[in-house]
Every structure is written in C-alpha cells, then in structure tokens.
Amino acid sequence: MKKVLLLPLLDSMPSGHHQVADAVREIIQMNSGEIASTKLDILSEWNTWLEKGIVAGYLGWIRRFPKSYAWIYRQFAYRSKSERPHKLYEILFMNKVRDLLEREQPDLIVCTHGFASLFINRLKESGECDIPTLNIYTDFFINDVWGCSHIDYHFVPSRMVKDALSSKYDIDGTRIFVTGIPISPKFEQRTRQEETGNPTVKRILLSGGSVGLGNLGDLVKKRVKGTNCRVKVLCGANRKLYEDIKRIPDEFAEAYPYISSKEEMNKIYDEVDAIISKPGGVTVSEALRKGIPVFISSALPGQEQINLQILKEMGLVTLIPGDEDALDFTCRALQDEKMMQQFNEAADRYRKSIELSDSKSLFKVIQQMLERG
C-alpha cells in the first residue's frame, strides 16, 4: 500500500493549511482504498507544549499589535535567501524532519505550509531525500518561506502564480498544476432548495475565520433594527463572540461555533446570498466554488492583506469602504446588476483558468505522482 505524508503546521489552530491537508486526505480516501495518508505537524512532533504556546502567542500578538505583526511578517517572509542569517530553527528541526521521514517511510510528501517545504527542500538539495514531494500553496501568492527550487510538484492557486514560480526557479511547467486552493469535495455538491420567503431579504454569512478573529460583533450590532437582511455568523473558537450574537433576536442573526462538518458548512453556503469575510485563501476558494460573492470588511496583518490586494486586482472580492455600514453596502451591492455581472465574469474567468477543477482530476494527478515514484 502506498503512503502519503501531509505536513501542515500548528496542530492546535484549525488553519487553512490544515483544511487543505484534510481536503487532500478526503480526496484520496474517496477515490482509493489502496493509498494510506497521515497528517503530522513537525512542530508538535518536536514539542507539543511549545506548539501550543506559539499558537497562543500568535493570536494574542495579532489582536494586540497588528501593525507590528504585519511589519515582522513582511521582513521575515520577503527577505531573499542570501539576506537571511542561518536560522537556529533550521538546526533544531532538521533532525526531527529526518527522524520523521525515517519513521513514516512515505511514498509521497505533501507540504501545505512553507516551513515544512523549506525543510524538505533543504534535504532534497543536499541529496538526503529522494521522496517525491508536492507543495500545495494555501494563499493566492507564494512567500519566501516556502522551499521551491528542489520540490518535484506544485499545486498553485492561479496561472499568474504558475508563471512566476516557473520563471523564478526555472521549474518545468508540466510539474506545476493550476488547481486553485484545494477544498473539500463536499463543496462540489449543491443543496440549495427552491427560494421561499421574501426575495428582497438578503441572507449574509459573516465569517471571521476558524479562530473567530475580526470585527464581526460590531458589524452585527450596528444593524439589528430596520435591516433588509438576515445574518449567519461563524464565530469559530471565539466563545465571547458566539455568546454576544446569541443575545441578538433570532430572526435577525444566527450564531454558529466552529463547524468541523463540511456537509453542514456546505448547507450553510447554499442558504446565503453573499459572504462578508476576511480574505483567507480557503474561505474565498470555497465561496468561488459555490458561486457566492465575497465582501471583505477587514484583513488580518500579513498574508491576508496580501491576499486582499491580489484578489481585488483579479476582481474576485469586493472591499467594503471603511466609511460604509458593511451589511447595508453588501445588500446594495447584491442589487447592483453591473457590480454582480462584473463579479460573475471575473469568477468565470478564474474558474476557467483552473487546470484541475474537481476532486477526481486532483486525485488522478496525485496517483500519477505515486506511480512515478
């Protein structure tokens, strides 16, 4: 039996890196009973308590000092390799990665986080690892943390990223596949029922990410009375936000804690007319698959700000002006035929650019990687 080893990062935070790894495992399990898959976090393997501490510190840092986090992110993620000093973390983790590969003996490595690919790339560069490796990029750009030069295969979010990756590292284009950001095959199913009720009442989904960051509570509290929309709020792990929303009249707002069920999440997507969200790669990709317009009210510092810039240029999201009420703006936009036509055309262009557009085609390519060895 062949074995696939998936390497995201930070086990105790349900991030897009884990969601993509889970989606790949789901795709493999749906299409074959002859391929085993294992998901491991290098940091948790090294020190579980340190991993939990890093997650807590990361979330606290973003909440309290967003500007400093954004500056550090850009300094760290966009310094050329020649400008970086030799990192202590590489010394600390390389032996753990070697031990992990020796223990697991995978036939294919799949990296959904830049740190994992950095270590694997170094091992392949030094001739210590000949296991076929696939990078799956979970944002709409590639930062300089990712190891790319010696990685065998790449799943990229767009044609633009494919061209840039091929040019920068002189990678054969046949080893780079435009897949979008892989999502659960559950989102390929449609559950929407025939419209009932008042068609002028718009149904808006508010999402702050899996950890419930963002200003969702403020957005909802501003528009309890006299609104022509209803909202569903994904609170993630933010218990306070969940309790605050639950106090709002049921006919206006519904609150949901972190949802692990893709079937339930798919059903919610099929019940709404638009999403107000942060520009996370997975959330936007799920919405694009479902054909739901995405409106951005805020972006976390670092990668989300960069995602936002790229997605705006592609016409795939709409940024809500800072002086506008988010719900009012979104409802007006949904009734603006020209704006919706522009979004639909941009979304169609993006979907047509995807080379592997469904779970079966993704699996077929992964299967070929395993067969080549």
CATH of 192-353, one of 3.40.50.2000, 3.90.1860.10, 3.90.1150.10, 3.40.50.150: 3.40.50.2000
pLDDT of residue 124: 97
Decide yes or no: CATH 3.40.50.2300 for domain 2-180+355-372. no
Q: Which of 254, 251, 269 is nearest to 201 (CA)?
A: 251
Residue predicted with more confidence, 114 or 193: 114
Instruction: Reply yes or no on whether the pLDDT at 13 is more than 70.
Output: no
| pLDDT at 71 (0 to 100) | 46
Range among 138-147, 233-242, 254-263, 307-316 rated most confident: 307-316
Q: Mean of the per-residue pLDDT values for the chain?
A: 84
Is there a common fold for 2-180+355-372 and 192-353?
yes
DSSP string across 150-211: T-SEEEES-HHHHHHHHHHHT--GGGEEE--S---GGGGS--PPPP-S-TTSEEEEEE-TTT
Among the listed residues 35, 36, 43, 47, the one whose alpha carbon sits nearest the alpha carbon of residue 17 = 43
The CA distance from 159 to 316, in Å, is 15
For the segment 104-132, the average pLDDT, to the nearest whole number, is 95
Per-domain residue ranges of the chain:
2-180+355-372, 192-353
